[in-house]
Amino acid sequence: MWDGKLKKWERTWKVDVKTAKDIMYWSSNIDGLLENEIKEMTGINEVPGFWQTWILTVGEFVTNQTIDPKLSSSEPINSNYMHSSGDADTPLRAPRLAVCSRPGCKNFIIFENGLRCISCDLEYQVTKSTRLVWFGLFIHDIEGLDTIVKHLNQFGAIPGHPIIRKNGRRYLLIPVNAFYPIAWPAKQPMVHYAKGIFTLPRIEWDKVNANYHMHKFGMMCLYTGISSGFNSYQESTMKDVLVKRALGHSNKLLKYCNGDMGAFLRVSPI
């Protein structure tokens, strides 16, 4: 397990909140909203099951409904975005984390003196589809999940599936991208398994599946009634969504992958 000390190649930075707010669009009008989100997420390492560091970055989330990135947050809000009952946040293409466009670099994008590459400082060009994202890792104890362990042993090191060891036990790290919707916090966030999880047994990449509560592109189904009009989501913080919903989803998903076909049918305390 990571000991919490910075390695030579690791670095810290102060999040450029002003630049990040520009990407939250009208959410940026809500006083202290993003500051509170960042403060909460900074403390997520105190919650069991969460990797110490979660990074505020951006991703590209292409939908039918996008808004002009130059739209000033002081301009009137189009309420159709906020309350449209349909698919404002249904992606047309697989959402992806942004990476540096410099050939050979392709590193993380962070908010430091603007929005730029963590490695070479190249500025990231915001598009109509750019959204604010938290990237981080869930930590799951996989001792006893024999089918999964066997699968991972058989296929060796799978990208996105690092295994760490502590006190003789093995833990699987699951990469997660948590996208803010354009109408945050009125609408729920889109929490995705980063590509890689779908190499697990029984999970089909890119298909909706009610048995393991998955939307397209590996998006976790965390709330009921997304398309029916009655939505069980209530205004929340990203930390709450990750702690109370998403971590439990991945826990159940691993049990499902391991052969427990009823993993999602039982009500769990999470």
Residue 62 binds Zn ion, judged by CB under 5 A? no
For residue 108, the minimal CB distance to Zn ion (Å) is 9
Burial annotation 165-197 (CB, 10 A radius, 16+ → b, else e)? eeeeebbbbbbbbbbbbbbbbebbbbbbbbbbb
For residue 266, the minimal CB distance to Zn ion (Å) is 45
For residue 115, the minimal CB distance to Zn ion (Å) is 12
Residue 115 binds Zn ion, judged by CB under 5 A? no
CB 170 within 8 A of CB 162: no
CB atoms inside a 10 Å sphere around CB 157? 9
**Residues near 252 by Cβ (< 8 Å), separated by ≥ 6?**
212, 213, 263, 264, 268
Among 115, 117, 194, 263, binds Zn ion (CB under 5 A): 117
Cis peptide leading into residue 185 (ω within 30°)? yes
3-state SS, residue 20: helix
Helix, strand, coil % in the chain, rounded to nearest 5: 25, 20, 55
**Beta carbon nearer to Zn ion, 101 or 127:** 101
For residue 158, the minimal CB distance to Zn ion (Å) is 25
**Beta carbon nearer to Zn ion, 100 or 172:** 100
The binding track of 70-109 with respect to Zn ion, each residue x by CB under 5 A or -, is ------------------------------x-x--x-x--
Q: Which stretch binds Zn ion (CB under 5 A): 25-33, 118-126, 208-216, 232-240?
A: 118-126
Number of chain residues interacting with Zn ion (CB under 5 A): 8
**Beta carbon nearer to Zn ion, 86 or 104:** 104
For residue 110, the minimal CB distance to Zn ion (Å) is 11
Residue 139 binds Zn ion, judged by CB under 5 A? no
CB 119 within 8 A of CB 112: no
Residue 114 binds Zn ion, judged by CB under 5 A? no
**Beta carbon nearer to Zn ion, 77 or 105:** 105
DSSP-assigned letter for residue 184: T
**Beta carbon nearer to Zn ion, 106 or 244:** 106
**Beta carbon nearer to Zn ion, 121 or 143:** 121
Residue with tokens 């029984």: 202
Residue 58 binds Zn ion, judged by CB under 5 A? no
Q: Where are the alpha helices (DSSP H) in 5-75?
A: 17-23, 33-42
**Beta carbon nearer to Zn ion, 107 or 237:** 107
Among 19, 53, 119, 147, binds Zn ion (CB under 5 A): 119
Beta strands in the chain (DSSP E): 55-60, 96-97, 109-111, 115-117, 130-141, 163-166, 169-179, 190-193
Interface with Zn ion by CB under 5 A: which residues? 100, 102, 105, 107, 117, 119-120, 122
